[in-house]
Amino acid sequence: MMESNNLNTRVLVTGGTGFLGVHTIVQLLQQGYKVKTTIRSLERKTDVLEMLKNGGITSFDNLEFIEADLTKDANWDEAVKDCKYVLHLASPFPSDEPKDEDELIIPAKEGTLRVLKAAQKAGVKRVVMTSSFAAIGYSINPENHIFSEQDWTDPNTNIGAYIKSKTLAEQAAWSFIKTEANPLELTVINPVGIFGPILGKDFSSSVQLIEQLMSGKMSATPKVFFGIVDVRDVADIHIKAMISKEAKNQRFLTSSDETTSLPETAKILRQQQNKYSKKVTKKVLPNWLVKILSNFKPELKSVASQVGIIKTISNEKAKKILGWKPRNKEIIITDTANSLIKFSVIK
């Protein structure tokens, strides 16, 4: 059961400059909500407004910007003031593995707790937090296993800093809700790789894969399989989870109905009729070669550990409880590609 939209309902979106943040603000404004959003520097306000215009927003009367950083206490009380809901989307996502994992873990974990404490103090009804499939799918043998919301990545195993940061941040959030005597509700969204149309020059690390294929920078594709989901569908599920009574204190694994792979993604891109489709490689790297190359190229280490592994992911809970309907991978990849052309970001 969904609560009815209230034109006076104020929602805070953290991370307003982010790929998911902008799409979520677009949908909230289109649905009549009043929106506050945090950005680390108000100098980025113009960029966000430009992306929102590209997303179809014409009036900014219901939008307010607050300068706030996940690593600092300043302005969080002001950010959550008068908000019924908080959509906590902001989190660091590096393109490269950091030298010190704490560079990611500390802001992810402490930032989450900073937002939850401010929300609790302000009397916010519910926080919907963006976690990741990273917090679900990296400690269980994927053979004959269907990944669901019941699964957890073990942060004490040999995993990358990003995966560990998302797991520890989500665990810290659930621990806060369970141990604090407060009426604050929490819902967590665990998306797989987020793709979909960009609205400007800011986009996710996932989308960079499409850009690398279309520009010809990726000269061959390893057989890496991954879950894929559209940014518009991830924004949509955050809003559905925000107002659904049944979503209280639940996790939702968010993925399209099928996984894809880099060779399959390349094939879909080659089928497009544009000037970049011919640049997309047809070469597929054998698994053994990726593993050998990873000894000389540290950036291939994480890829080498995942080649040939197919993870089966269930999105049934999100469909059943929230009535969520994800786009299919062909639409997601095609719309991502078209938007990269539209905004001239292919080098």
Could you tell me the pTM of the whole model?
Answer: 0.94
CATH number, domain containing residue 51: 3.40.50.720
91 domain-assigned? yes
Q: Which of 84, 109, 166, 223 is catalytic?
A: 166
Q: Is 291 a catalytic residue?
A: no
pLDDT score of 3 more than 90 = no
What does the pLDDT look like over 79-118, one tens digit per residue?
999 999 999 998 766 556 677 888 888 888 999 999 999 9
44 domain-assigned? yes
1 domain-assigned? no
CA neighbours within 13 Å on the CB side: how many for 224? 18
pLDDT average, residue stretch 21-36: 97
Specify the pLDDT at position 177: 95
Specify the pLDDT at position 95: 59
128 domain-assigned? yes
Q: What angle do CA 250, 255, 261 make, to 5 degrees?
A: 150
Secondary structure (H, E, C), the chain: CECCCCCCCEEEEECCCCHHHHHHHHHHHHCCCEEEEEECCHHHHHHHHHHHHHCCCCCCCCEEEEECCCCCCCCHHHHHCCCCEEEECCCCCCCCCCCCCHHHHHHHHHHHHHHHHHHHHHCCCEEEEECCHHHCCCCCCCCCCEECCCCCCCCCCCCCHHHHHHHHHHHHHHHHHHHCCCCCEEEEEEECEEECCCCCCCCCHHHHHHHHHHHCCCCCEECCEEEEEEHHHHHHHHHHHHHEHHHCCCEEEECCCCEEEHHHHHHHHHCCCCCCHHHCCCCEECHHHHHHHCCCCHHHHHHHCCCCCCCEECCHHHHHHHCCCCCCHHHHHHHHHHHHHHCCCCC
**Strand 126-130 with 34-39, pairing:** unpaired
Look at the block and give the residue holding tokens 């053994």: 288
Per-residue confidence band for 6, with pLDDT thresholds at 50, 70 and 90:
low
More confident residue, 104 or 34: 34
The chain-wide mean pLDDT, for the chain, equals 93
161 domain-assigned? yes
What does the pLDDT look like over 283-310, one tens digit per residue?
999 999 988 988 887 777 778 888 999 9
What does the pLDDT look like over 38-78, one tens digit per residue?
999 999 999 999 999 999 999 999 999 999 999 899 999 99
What does the pLDDT look like over 124-167, one tens digit per residue?
999 999 999 999 999 999 999 999 999 999 999 988 888 999 99
Domain of residue 131, residue span: 10-342
Specify the pLDDT at position 104: 85
65 domain-assigned? yes
pLDDT average, residue stretch 234-249: 98
Picking from 96, 105, 111, the residue whose alpha carbon sits closest to that of residue 40 is: 111
- The domain total for the chain is 1
Specify the pLDDT at position 273: 86
Specify the pLDDT at position 2: 43
325 domain-assigned? yes
262 domain-assigned? yes
Specify the pLDDT at position 5: 54
What does the pLDDT look like over 157-210, one tens digit per residue?
988 888 999 999 999 999 999 987 679 999 999 999 999 999 998 788 899 999
